[in-house]
Structure 1
Amino acid sequence: MGLKPNIAVETKKVGQMRKVIHPIRDNSLSIVLFALFVICISLESLSGWRLQNETLAAHAQSSIGYWHFLSTGAFLEGLASNWQAAVLQLGSLIVFSSFLYQRGAPHSRDPRKAKGKQKRRKADRFSWFYRNSLLVAFLLLFVLALGLHIVFGTKAYNEQLMLAGQPPISIAAFLLSAKFWTTTLQTWQAEYLVIALYVVLTIFLRQQNSPESKPLESRNATTGEANG
């Protein structure tokens, strides 16, 4: 008889643990990715702060504090520049894969299979905005990140000009400058290369249990069959 209360207590504790564990398990992918983002941006800010002070010392300027560095163009431009390139990469894959094909890639529609009327009728039940909401979200994120890149890039470039004893330039002048387009195209070409390699490599290679890969038994020519 004395064991029943203990069993009830243990059962209650297990139930409470499950309530905590299940949300963590069910969202573990996004939790880990956001955690890695926080770790990387923290380390980036610390190393960037050290580099900025080394640059200032080389120009006989006094060093700046960590929190001051976080408001400088040197730090903010790097964030915005890489954000807009990363958003462009995924946004391009989303929109191009809606009408272009890559035979054998799990994230491509099969060009041999025509769109069915039933699928079109089902899609027509939803508004245009909902049917294209993912692309719209990435487009807005890209415009926002690109705008921040231009603003903070201008600030960072003017900080460099100030150290060199030269007058600052306007946002319009920076937008037309070789500095802006060099840094922008450096990130764009890297992002497009990586996404192209990803599309091609998923034709031939596999990753067990990953939904980004075709099943292990799939033929290389199989198109659009990602792991379930």
Structure 2
Amino acid sequence: MTPGSADRDGSPGFWRSNSLTLVFGAAFFVVLAGQAVAGRAEFNEQLAVAGLQQVGFGAYLASSDFAVDVTENWQSEFLQFFLYVYGTVYLLQRGSPESKPLDRAGTESERYQRMGPHARSDSPRWAGTRDWRQTLYSRSLGLVMGAFFLGSWFAQSVSGVSAYNGERLRQLQAPIDWGAYLVSADFWNRSLQNWQSELLAVAAMAVLSVYLRQRGSPESKPVGAAHTSTGVEG
């Protein structure tokens, strides 16, 4: 049996069952490699203008300039998902499949969430507990997204101050320390320009999905669903 064929019980094989993750994961590495190639070319152009020696591909991959460009995008994406995961607990959008039904704002009952005594035989083990494990697991997605955001934002600040100081040295200016960089215009410009684009994308998706459809996508309502239908996925 090949990895992509159907299992004996008729369910899809490994590749099809995990195609969403595999395709987007592969696309991520392709795009990251493309960014590295383009980024090195741009960086070497800047060095050439300054009359400095150009860097090789390996040196660029290990540079703070490449690291800050990557991490500043990562932290904005994880911020988007962190805010979206927590925001959709309480915030609603009438007619959007991205929103819960209008009468379900909040953390919902244990019965609806299949927690504690309402856990089923196939529920995650910690969902059926009544102690700290249930509390932690019931918030694990938001906590991990928040941790990824803070971690990548910190990485951006560390690589950012190194890249920023490298630029200052090339201009014969004195470097600054990490604390000073955290309140600098460069750090907040990098952060805020990414945050606003992510927030705009979430707001646009929530509103446009009220009136527009994509047949077969779980991010869209069924094609024939009413515009006022809320929390219904196709």
- TM-score, length of structure 1 as denominator length: 0.88
Counterpart check, 1:39 vs 2:46:
no
Q: Structure 2 residue aligned with 1:73, among 64, 78, 90?
A: 64
Question: Secondary structure in 1 aligned to 2:97?
Answer: coil
3-state DSSP of counterpart to 1:97: helix
SS at match of 1:159: helix
Q: CA deviation at 1:91?
A: 1.2
Deviation string 1:22-59 (CA, Å, 9 cap, x unpaired) is 11111111111011101101010001101111100101
The superposition leaves residues 77-115 of structure 1 with CA deviations (integer Å, 9 ceiling, x where unpaired) of 011100000111111111000011111111211223575
Corresponding residue number in structure 2 for 1:4: none
Moved over 6 A (4+): none
- The answer for unaligned runs of 5 or more in structure 1 is 1-14
Change (3 A) 1:34 1:113: closer
**Structure 1 position 188 matched with structure 2 position 195:** yes
Corresponding residue for residue 209 of structure 2: 202
1:94 lines up with 2:102 in the alignment: no
Residue in structure 1 matched with residue 223 of structure 2 by the alignment: 216
Percent of pairs identical after alignment?
31
| Match for residue 147 of structure 2 among 127, 140, 145 | 140
Change (3 A) 1:118 1:22: closer
Structure 2 unaligned blocks of 5 or more: 118-126, 128-133
Which residue is 1:152 aligned to? 159
Match of 2:17 in 1: 26
**Which protein is richer in helix relative to its size?**
1
Q: Is the 8 A contact 2:160 2:187 kept in 1?
A: yes
Amino acid at match of 1:32: V
1:16 deviates by 4.2
Corresponding residue to 1:103 among 94, 99, 105: 94
SS in 1 for 2:215: coil
Counterpart secondary structure, 1:98: helix
Q: Does 1:162 align with 2:155?
A: no
1:5 aligned residue: none
Query: 2:115 is matched with which residue: 123, 133, 137?
Result: 123
The CA deviation at 1:118 is: 3.1
Code of the residue aligned with 2:54 in structure 1: it is S
AA matched with 2:190: T
Shift of 1:119: 2.1
What is the Cα deviation at residue 205 of structure 1?
Answer: 0.6
Determine which of 24, 43, 49 is the counterpart of 1:52: 43
Letter of the 1:198 partner, please give it: M
- Residues 98 and 206 of structure 2 are in contact (CA less than 8 Å); yes or no, is this contact kept in structure 1? yes
Alignment TM-score, normalising by the size of structure 2? 0.86
Could you tell me whether the CA contact under 8 Å between 2:110 and 2:116 is conserved in 1?
Answer: no
Partner of 1:3: none
Spell out, residue by residue over 1:170-192, the C-alpha distance to the aligned partner (whole angstroms, 9 max, x if none): 11000010111111100000110
Q: Distance in 2 between matches of 1:192 and 1:48?
A: 26
Q: Distance in 2 between matches of 1:113 and 1:128?
A: 20
Q: Deviations over 1:60-82 (max 9, x none)?
A: 10111110011111110011100
Measured after TM superposition, the shift of residue 216 of structure 1 is 1.0
> Paired residues, what number?
212
Q: CA separation in 2, counterparts of 1:153 and 1:138?
A: 22
Point out the more displaced range, 19-28 or 144-153: 19-28
